[in-house]
Chains A and B, each alone.
Chain A
Amino acid sequence: GAGVSQTPSNKVTEKGKYVELRCDPISGHTALYWYRQSLGQGPEFLIYFQGTGAADDSGLPNDRFFAVRPEGSVSTLKIQRTERGDSAVYLCASSSGAGGLTDTQYFGPGTRLTVL
């Protein structure tokens, strides 16, 4: 079946603008995760959804970042008043939600965000 898809693949915006990044998880996966990967770094956790609710949003850097998953499938990461430091690749992952070691997280290709 299809893997995790993310749109857009690239997004260029100006400082201060609002952006939305979309993630389509693997069908049937109840758990969804957002990570951010800056150049030369490993992915850093942002937020984890179990179903429609955010089970852990402790990785969101500040209140300009917000994510939703209203129907328990597609998720949108929203960034307000973008700053140049927000430039990174935003990765989405999904898993079955069973938890533990075998609950493999499958990653999408990411959205490369550039804030000018």
Chain B
Amino acid sequence: QKEVEQDPGPLSVPEGAIVSLNCTYSNSAFQYFMWYRQYSRKGPELLMYTYSSGNKEDGRFTAQVDKSSKYISLFIRDSQPSDSATYLCAMLGGNNRLAFGKGNQVVVIP
């Protein structure tokens, strides 16, 4: 079992829809949780991070963590074509190494 599971299926939504992404993890030692966005042929860039259970909002983006279920989510409200990218969940483990999910390719159709 991988440390971080993210169903890698692509997601295609119309502009303005809510995008919902999620990951599960198995390592209870993970304390910090991130979402990265990766555009084609670019490196990942940090979108949001959190360390506690609950919700964190940043503009149109909401990150949710449920440590008891080892489950994290990312919601994108009022999605825009510029949100089209691959979204990767990541957890921070020992020695600052990031453990990534496989990523979800999101396409927002105008």
Contacts and interface: CB of A to CB of B under 8 A. Distances in A.
B96 A95 contact: yes
A51 interface: no
Interface of A: 4, 31, 33, 35, 40-45, 48, 55-56, 59, 91, 93, 95, 99-101, 103-110
B84 to A, nearest CB: 17
- Leading 8 A-B pairs by shortest Cβ distance: A42-B100, A107-B43, A56-B95, A45-B97, A101-B32, A107-B44, A43-B100, A42-B102
B95 A48 contact: yes
A12 to B, nearest CB: 16
Contacts of B32: 100-101
A104 B46 contact: yes
Interface string B35-53: 0000001111110010100
B42 A109 contact: yes
A109 B32 CA distance: 24
A40 B44 contact: no
Interface residues of B, number: 26
B100 A48 contact: no
A104 B36 CA distance: 11
B99 interface: yes
Contact of B6 (A31, A42, A48, A56): A42
Given A33-B96, A95-B96, A99-B96, A42 B101 contact: yes
The residue among B41, B49, B95 with the most chain A CB atoms within 10 A of its own CB is: B95
B76 interface: no
Contacts of A31: 96
A38 B44 CA distance: 14
Nearest to B93: A45
Interface string B67-110: 00000000000000000000010101011111111110000000
A31 B103 CA distance: 25
Most-contacted residue by chain A among B6, B46, B96, B102 (CB, 10 A):
B96
